[in-house]
């Protein structure tokens, strides 16, 4: 184990005994990384922070369920993703993109950091944030979190085929947004 892993497990052991100081340390250590996970599913930072809080509450309540198999941070990340999905399912019925949402998504203003190597990761994530919620959830779960279409379908209450179709549509929208952004950048450079 690395020093960071040892520190995390030491803090974790303190949390298992309900030590408030250890719980605060764990939160301070992991909150920034887990907030980044939550931001991939949320519409804005406030919503992401709500998901983060729900996730930590759920994690602290279910600490005894961590069996020590796999990465502790990965286990916590999975809780955050499940909280985001659960929140999404409660707040909105599943609706696929319509023409208005696609048009709105393609008009996203992002920083002008396109370079010869392509978009920076932060700008690509801004584009992902502008996808309709269902598309964004499927894209994040598959492309970033590594869930299978069967797992996505089960989590979001859709068929495996619909998960695959939604991912394809999300990728198509992202490609269109990148193409429009590239055209705008080229036009700005030429003009």
Contact between residue 74 and residue 64 where contact means Cβ atoms under 8 Å apart: no
Give me the sign of the Cα torsion angle 169, 105, 140, 65. Answer: negative
Per DSSP, the residues of 46-107 read: HHHHHHHHHHHHHHHHTGGG--S-S-HHHHHHHHHHHHHHHHHHHH-------HHHHHHHHT
When divided into structural domains, the chain yields a total of: 2
pLDDT of residue 2: 58
pLDDT of residue 11: 93
Domain extent for 73 = 1-91
Do 84 and 177 lie in a common domain? no
Do 191 and 122 lie in a common domain? yes
pLDDT of residue 86: 86
Least confident segment among 14-28, 54-68, 82-96, 108-122: 108-122
Do 74 and 144 lie in a common domain? no
Do 172 and 113 lie in a common domain? yes
Ranked by mean pLDDT, the top range of 72-86, 87-101, 118-132, 174-188 is 72-86
Mean pLDDT over 41-58 rounds to 92
Residue 118 β-bridge partners: 115
Q: Name the phi and psi angles at 158, rounded to 5.
A: -135, 165
Given 43, 62, 91, the domain boundary residue is 91
Alpha-carbon torsion angle 5, 61, 133, 178, nearest 10? -10
Do 97 and 174 lie in a common domain? yes
Q: What is the pLDDT of residues 137-150, one digit of tens each?
A: 999 999 888 999 99
Do 55 and 28 lie in a common domain? yes
Q: Name the phi and psi angles at 92, rounded to 5.
A: -135, 135
**Position 87 pLDDT exceeds 80:** yes
Do 78 and 116 lie in a common domain? no
Residue of higher predicted confidence among 120 and 116: 120
Do 145 and 85 lie in a common domain? no
Do 24 and 50 lie in a common domain? yes
Q: Per the confidence metrics, is the pTM higher than 0.85? A: no
Q: Name the phi and psi angles at 115, rounded to 5.
A: -135, -175
Given 62, 91, 120, the domain boundary residue is 91
Do 111 and 55 lie in a common domain? no
DSSP 143: I
The CATH number of whichever domain residue 146 belongs to comes to 1.10.10
Spell 97-124 as b/e; 16+ CB within 10 A means b: beeebbeebbeeebeeebeeeebeeebb
Mean pLDDT over 107-116 rounds to 42
Do 107 and 55 lie in a common domain? no
Given 91, 109, 133, the domain boundary residue is 91
pLDDT category of residue 157 using cuts at 50, 70 and 90: confident
Closest Cα partner for 134 from 45, 31, 43?
43
Q: How many CA within 13 A on the CB side of residue 71?
A: 9
Do 150 and 81 lie in a common domain? no
Contact between residue 152 and residue 187 where contact means Cβ atoms under 8 Å apart: no
């Amino acid at each position: 184990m690395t020093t960071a892993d040892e520190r995390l497990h030491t803090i974790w052991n303190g949390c298992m005994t309900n030590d408030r100081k250890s719980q605060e340390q764990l939160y301070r250590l992991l909150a920034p990384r887990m907030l980044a996970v939550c931001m991939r599913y949320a519409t804005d930072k406030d919503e992401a922070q709500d998901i983060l809080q729900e996730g930590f509450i759920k994690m602290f309540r279910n600490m005894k369920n961590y069996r020590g198999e796999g990465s502790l941070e990965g286990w916590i990340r999975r809780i955050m993703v499940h909280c985001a999905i659960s929140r999404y399912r409660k707040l909105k019925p599943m609706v696929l993109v319509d023409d208005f949402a696609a048009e709105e998504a393609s008009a996203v203003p992002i920083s002008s950091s396109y370079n010869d190597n392509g978009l920076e990761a932060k700008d690509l994530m801004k584009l992902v944030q502008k996808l309709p919620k269902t598309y964004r959830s499927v894209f994040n779960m598959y492309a970033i979190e590594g869930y299978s279409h069967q797992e996505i379908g089960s989590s979001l209450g859709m068929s495996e085929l619909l998960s695959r179709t939604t991912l394809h549509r999300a990728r198509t929208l992202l490609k269109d947004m990148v193409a429009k952004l590239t055209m705008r950048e080229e036009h700005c450079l030429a003009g």
